[in-house]
Structure 1
């Protein structure tokens, strides 16, 4: 289960994205994801898909890893598709009782599912190619102007990174608890769907307990290293933009402009 979740995991390869400044990756991915909200035509979706596939290839991370990472959101994708099919008004192509399936509903369902897949794949690139400490340092630098407004930027950046990093850790704990129940003869995987969902409720108590324990241990570790509030903390590795960072930033801007032109032109 934990291997199926891409958020919070890091896979080291010798790729361009791994060598980028974390600030470049954060800003570029953010503006590209915002541009996905403007996707409307088949042409724009095809261009966005080819662009994302190109990024996945350049990252040198095995493609099956990304496909495995889509498994946890299959239910969300299915629900989104069915929701749009049944609740979108338009040209009816099939009906039964009060249920109507429209052509516009199918088109909207495909577009929304397609967009979610692109967003998940693009977002996973950030954590798969960036170490947690580098990600925290990049966020801290980007949010530095907010410190003049007395915003605890250092603490906020650390909190975000720890939350992201804890996702696979919590899932590992969940797997361990489920395996412990299997060893005691209680296998919830063979239960019907409704009963299986209810069987997860008793698991939440030990999962919450172990999560709180890990959070407390992490707190002691941070205090033992005299992190404090993080204000004025120095870094072993200083962030510095390279030529490749400017190139990647320009590519991201050009992609956003392309999507905007397609949106305005209705192509």
Structure 2
């Protein structure tokens, strides 16, 4: 199971149990949706603040360093490279930038002096410096729009990936499905199969480790045979990997059949008749405190985070 242990994203941390683990999964889902939607039509200050908030939450929750050090390091590195590439790339406006001030400043001074003879003397000659091009040396050119675009892309990339990973890291698959089923209860009035949907989601989440295990076993079987890929050529290599893919599909179908037989042996006929209550979802005092912080979060977002 080395592949499962080394997978950087999407794993559930069973031990130690942090305070993030104990929060109701519905509240955590609301926080996740807030992180994924609050950066829409937001300014760059709020986008950077979301990144800082995610990092501080990870540190304050006392999640072991070995769990998040590698994945956060890779994400921060990727976000930095995205920021650098977007900042030095052309901004796409396709225009020639002209200075706001004339080349001969004496003309501006003469016009400004003639039009402001009745103004305060201290205000004469004051100019507000502005430059659209922030840095230009050789082929490297950074403009205000390209830097703004780089900050947007890099922060959104980090927020989307890491907020989702933090939710999966502190929430068990059964808690996720229970929370989704609880939130989808009003859809029963529309005669939607809510229980069947959540059951399918639960089985899918439980089936992912089996898929990774089968992939790992097949890769090891190919490596132990010491195949000379140069002698096989392109056609032979494609044939080998097609055989591996076919074998993988057969093994996964066999695992699915075994899972279905196990459910049938236990007398499972329909989710409504054999419903398994994974968790008793009740809002505790810490959950109400998290909801209050969420309301404050959106209040701050509307006050300082709205893009003008």
TM-score by length of 1: 0.77
**Bigger Cα Rg:** 2
User: 2:105 matched to which residue of 1?
Assistant: none
- Is 1:135 aligned with 2:185? no
Q: Once the 2 structures are TM-superposed, how far is the Cα of residue 117 of structure 1 from its aligned partner? A: 1.5
- Is 1:240 aligned with 2:282? yes
- CA separation in 1, counterparts of 2:92 and 2:164? 32
Task: Select the residue among 225, 230, 233 that pairs with 1:184.
Answer: 225
Pair 115,164 (structure 1): closer, same or farther in 2 beyond 3 Å = farther
Q: Once the 2 structures are TM-superposed, how far is the Cα of residue 166 of structure 1 from its aligned partner? A: 3.3
Q: Deviations over 1:149-176 (max 9, x none)?
A: 1111111112223333433442332222
SS at match of 1:37: coil
Q: Deviations over 1:95-127 (max 9, x none)?
A: 98xxx9763345423431222212221111222
Q: How does 1:70-149 map to 2 (within 5 A)?
A: 86=89, 88-90=91-93, 103=143, 104-149=145-190
SS at match of 1:61: coil
SS at match of 2:271: coil
User: 1:193 matched to which residue of 2?
Assistant: none
SS at match of 1:264: coil
Pair 236,120 (structure 1): closer, same or farther in 2 beyond 3 Å = closer
Q: Deviations over 1:184-228 (max 9, x none)?
A: 11488xxxxxxx999866543333222222222222233333443
- CA separation in 1, counterparts of 2:219 and 2:76? 21
SS at match of 2:9: coil
Pair 242,145 (structure 1): closer, same or farther in 2 beyond 3 Å = same
Pair 14,200 (structure 1): closer, same or farther in 2 beyond 3 Å = same
Gapped regions of structure 1 (runs ≥ 5): 189-195
Aligned length in residues: 255
SS at match of 1:147: helix
User: 2:299 matched to which residue of 1?
Assistant: 257
Deviates most, 119-128 or 30-39:
30-39
CA contact (8 A) 1:8 1:166 kept: no
- CA separation in 1, counterparts of 2:197 and 2:9? 22
SS at match of 1:174: helix
Task: Select the residue among 30, 50, 56 that pairs with 1:48.
Answer: 50
User: 1:11 matched to which residue of 2?
Assistant: 14
Deviates most, 230-239 or 109-118:
230-239
Deviates most, 56-65 or 139-148:
56-65
CA contact (8 A) 2:41 2:306 kept: no
Pair 156,209 (structure 1): closer, same or farther in 2 beyond 3 Å = same
User: 1:192 matched to which residue of 2?
Assistant: none
Pair 206,111 (structure 1): closer, same or farther in 2 beyond 3 Å = farther
- CA separation in 1, counterparts of 2:169 and 2:227? 35
Q: Once the 2 structures are TM-superposed, how far is the Cα of residue 264 of structure 1 from its aligned partner? A: 2.8
- CA separation in 1, counterparts of 2:70 and 2:11? 15
